[in-house]
Amino acid sequence: MPNEQITIRTRDGECPSHVATPAGEGPWPAVIFYMDAGGIRPVVTEMAQRLAGAGYVVLLPDLFYRCGPYGPLVPKEVFAGDVRAILGPLMATTGNDKAAEDTEAFLVCLDARGDVAGRKVGAVGFCMGGGMALAAAGTYPDRFGAVASFHGGNLATDAPASPHLFAPELKAEIYVAAAENDGSYPTEMAERLEKALAQAGVRYRAETYPAAHGWMKPDFPVYDHAAAERGWTEMLALFGRTLHRGQ
């Protein structure tokens, strides 16, 4: 799939980004891809390209742009070392609130493209990106038609920018795919998120996969091919029924 490298000007600086597009002529619906804490690396761009191959313009921003150049990181090496020392400084430069703020510029970028169909976009987030995708959709509810969160962590906490607090604003259809025995998203947190979504009347479905946190990422030690393919099926079905040409 065609892969374009661009720079998006946000309120805080310049955000390097990838845009993956389907082959052929558009326009196509757009999806914003909120990365995991491993940052931008070959596997992530390959996933964006796979999603583009299904018929979407995929915007993949580097949410760690505030920290300057890094990596690319190799997850197996990161997990074998001091994870907090390696990822902590990167993660400290962003968060749900900052990613939601950045989304203003991401939407402007998509609006300026002639190959994007309509104003409603989708969002998919992995790990830390799961909460960011929900926060973005809650900040710009009229712009998002669907959000998928895979093994997202800290989705319902006491933090002021906790994703569950955006539930009353959400208009998108939501799919939350959790991992088993995930310390970043225990059962009581899942119940708190689902309660918030239900009380707000959000269209959502939540599932717990028989897989470990990070199962969707092929370069993670815990990658589970069968579970990942199921996740792709669910994601494409979600976007297929909510994002349409000319919407």
Q: How far is CA 137 from CA 72, 130, 220, in A?
A: 28, 11, 27
> What are the per-10-residue average pLDDT scores of the chain (247 residues)?
91 97 93 96 97 98 94 84 82 95 98 95 98 98 98 97 98 98 96 98 98 96 97 98 76
With CA atoms as reference, report the closest residue to 57 among 27, 99, 35, 24: 27
Helix pair angle (128-139, 96-111), 10° resolution: 60
Please report the pLDDT score of residue 113 as a whole number. 96
User: What tens digit of pLDDT does each residue of 147-172 get?
Assistant: 999 999 999 999 999 999 999 999 99
Residue extents of the structural domains in the chain: 3-242
> Looking at domain 3-242, what is its CATH homologous superfamily?
Alpha/Beta hydrolase fold, catalytic domain (3.40.50.1820)
Dist CA 26 CA 238 (whole Å):
20
pTM value?
A: 0.96
Please report the pLDDT score of residue 79 as a whole number. 81
3-state SS class at 41: coil
User: What tens digit of pLDDT does each residue of 66-79 get?
Assistant: 998 888 888 888 88
Please report the pLDDT score of residue 103 as a whole number. 98
Please report the pLDDT score of residue 247 as a whole number. 44
Are 41 and 72 spatial neighbours (Cβ–Cβ below 8 Å)?
A: yes
Q: What six digits make up the tokens of 231?
A: 């996740």
Dist CA 225 CA 215 (whole Å):
8
User: What tens digit of pLDDT does each residue of 234-245 get?
Assistant: 999 999 999 976
**In the chain, which ranges are E strands?**
3-10, 13-20, 30-34, 57-61, 121-126, 144-150, 173-179, 204-209
Dist CA 69 CA 52 (whole Å):
26
The label of the residue with tokens 């030690």 reads 221
